[in-house]
Structure 1
Amino acid sequence: MSGGSTIQIDRLRRTFRTGGADIVAVDDLTMTVRAGSLVAITGPSGSGKSTLLHLIGAIERPDSGTITADEIEVTGLRRTRLAAYRRSIGFVFQRYHLLPALTALDNVVAPVLPYKVDFRKADRARELLAAVDLEGRENALPAQLSGGQQQRVAIARALIGRPRLLLADEPTGNLDSKSGGEILNLIADLRATYGMTVLVATHEQRIAARADRVLRLRDGAVVEDLDLQVGHPASDTLTRLDQLRA
């Protein structure tokens, strides 16, 4: 992987119609994410964390505003190029979405199976499973793995296409505290190893200790932006985030 993506967001807005009323999920949001950085997006449920990631990943379309990834305006892409952009991103979700009839190895290979790539798919999948500490479990079915192990397979699957951008939406939501901490540490370690830009939406304040930047959302807007690369100690940041919890 040749460095992470730079993401520029300008006046992004997304609303949903619920019960006859408009709910603002992302409210006129503007920000720049540095290439190769690890950004933790925190905030209470309904603050817009998942919607923001879905907009950056082109799973949803904004009502207005623009998203630019490496000088490509994502919000202006048509269907074919939009699909190619989605394939260039690694996604990790709260639910693992593994195919139950496939082995761990085959689940990792699945996203690139229909496409011509410049690497040996099975070899790359084995390398990634080893990177997430699942060497020797290549032939295990999802039902034979713990929740934390299934999420590790999902992370390896997200990396099979060599993405410059990894989006993780509540990746520890279905895990116990110990497994959740291990997954957050793993994501941070993989960012360092592969040089990706990583955005993690999470309720877990511990990710702040490994992040370059922590954004706190409320009602779709950024209410706190802590940049750890300009001298904020991680312990101070954790204290500050605890004070800001809703």
Structure 2
Amino acid sequence: MQSSATTSRGAAVAVSGLSKAFPSGDGGTITAVDHADLDIAPGGVVALTGPSGSGKSTLLHLIGAIDVPDAGAITVAGTEITASGRRALARYRRTVGFVFQRFHLLSALTARDNVIAPLLPYGKRGAGLERATELLAAVGLAGREDALPSQLSGGQQQRVAIARALVGEPGLLLADEPTGNLDSATGTEIIELLLTLNADFGTTMVIATHDPGIAARCDRTVLLRDGVITRVE
């Protein structure tokens, strides 16, 4: 990898008074995130934990600007994204890496082209080829660059998804249950990989997980219940 890959360049994240509600089936509302406050240091690895429906995914989506809060502020790398316009938010999303429980790989593309895919709308395929090859090697898939998703195991597909999340050199990576579709041994390998990449790249990581073993490996654990942050360890 390039020497800059070992330099910490993670983004600081500050969440203040963040709230988000959704309509419920009975005509009321469900508060998914309720006046959340959270500070994450550059290069930190934070686990969001709590039962299903506690607000973990919603908080990730708000930080990643996939969704818009009803109230509160989110500041990433010194920029308040909740005060940004549509174009600025689109630029911001390109600085964030996303890893989901479902791998969301394009079945007709090779592993290398899946990694490059986020760069294609910006005419950067050529520049991304070398980086994609380096990232696939970094996630343990050297020699599998031309494999289709159907030729890869679930764990290998998630490794491709992680490489894809890193191809834009993000300062922040958001992972929503990244081991949820994997067996326990493969899930452990994926978390070990994420922690190794954090050490190598310095990318700030926020990981939503039900697994207390995964949370224990992170720098800090944030417990949510009914949208409220009840404990930070």
TM-score range, shorter chain: over 0.9
Query: Counterpart of 1:11?
Result: 17
CA distance in 1, matches of 2:143, 2:126: 21
Root mean square deviation, CA, Å: 1.4
CA distance in 2, matches of 1:131, 1:169: 21
Query: Counterpart of 2:221?
Result: 214
CA shift at 1:79, angstroms?
A: 1.0
Q: Indicate the SS of the match to 1:216.
A: strand
Give unmatched runs, 5+ long, in structure 1.
227-246
Query: Counterpart of 1:135?
Result: 142
TM-score by length of 1: 0.89
Matched letter for residue 153 of structure 2: S
Q: Indicate the SS of the match to 2:144.
A: coil
CA distance in 2, matches of 1:60, 1:120: 30
Match of residue 124, structure 1, among 118, 122, 131: 131
CA shift at 1:168, angstroms?
A: 0.3
Query: Counterpart of 1:235?
Result: none
Query: Counterpart of 1:112?
Result: 119
TM-score by length of 2: 0.94
CA distance in 1, matches of 2:81, 2:145: 35
Runs of 4 or more consecutive aligned structure 1 residues displaced over 2 Å after TM superposition: 116-120
CA shift at 1:76, angstroms?
A: 1.2
CA shift at 1:119, angstroms?
A: 8.3
Q: Indicate the SS of the match to 2:15.
A: strand
CA distance in 2, matches of 1:6, 1:68: 8
Matched letter for residue 130 of structure 2: D
Aligned residues: 226
CA shift at 1:117, angstroms?
A: 5.5
CA distance in 2, matches of 1:32, 1:9: 6
1:27 aligned onto 2:52:
no
CA distance in 2, matches of 1:196, 1:214: 17
Query: Counterpart of 1:204?
Result: 211
Q: Indicate the SS of the match to 1:120.
A: helix
Query: Counterpart of 1:57?
Result: 64
CA shift at 1:118, angstroms?
A: 11
